[in-house]
């Protein structure tokens, strides 16, 4: 694995992470607009509207918790892959500098 390939891969990972954060911010903004619109239109004396608000809050909190769990899962495995790449890079550096002492049988 060459240094250029590792650098290109890391740039690709950083770009994907930036796009992911942008998507999260856009989703949060959309949810805020939907909640604001509902709060402006809702009649809080109507029990159905209160039930809809409670369901919205419950489902939104569930989605947020799932997204946080998924994010930590992906980050943990990304760190594992990066650690493996660094170990491989170290092994390649030592194998190219040291002579090969294998004997043929």
Please report the pLDDT score of residue 26 as a whole number.
93
Cα–Cα distance for residue pair 59/63, rounded to 1 Å: 6
Q: What is the pLDDT of residues 19-72, one digit of tens each?
A: 888 988 998 899 899 999 999 999 999 999 999 999 988 998 898 899 889 888
Greater model confidence, 70 or 7: 70
Contact 2, 93 (CB under 8 A): no
Q: Which residues contact 105 (CB under 8 A, 6 or more apart)?
A: none
Question: Is 102 a domain residue?
Answer: no
The whole model's pTM is what? 0.60
Question: Is 70 a domain residue?
Answer: yes
Please report the pLDDT score of residue 43 as a whole number.
92
Please report the pLDDT score of residue 85 as a whole number.
80
The residue count of the chain comes to 105
Please report the pLDDT score of residue 94 as a whole number.
77
In what helix (H) or strand (E) does residue 89 lie, and over which residues does it extend?
A: helix 47-97
Cα–Cα distance for residue pair 83/89, rounded to 1 Å: 10
Encoded tokens for 93: 């550096």
Question: Is 78 a domain residue?
Answer: yes
Domain count, the chain: 1
Please report the pLDDT score of residue 3 as a whole number.
67
Select from 29, 27, 33, 36 the least CA-distant residue to 71.
27
Enclosing domain of residue 31: 3-95
């Amino acid at each position: 694995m060459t240094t250029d390939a590792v650098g290109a891969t890391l740039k690709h990972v950083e770009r994907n992470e930036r796009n992911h954060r942008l998507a999260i911010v856009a989703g949060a903004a959309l949810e805020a607009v939907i909640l604001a619109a509902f709060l402006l239109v809702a009649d809080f004396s109507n029990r159905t509207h209160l039930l809809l608000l409670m369901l919205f809050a419950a489902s939104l909190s569930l989605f947020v918790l799932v997204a946080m769990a998924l994010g930590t899962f992906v980050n943990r495995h990304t760190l594992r892959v990066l650690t493996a790449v660094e170990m491989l890079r170290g092994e390649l550096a030592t194998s190219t500098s040291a002579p090969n002492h294998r004997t043929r049988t």
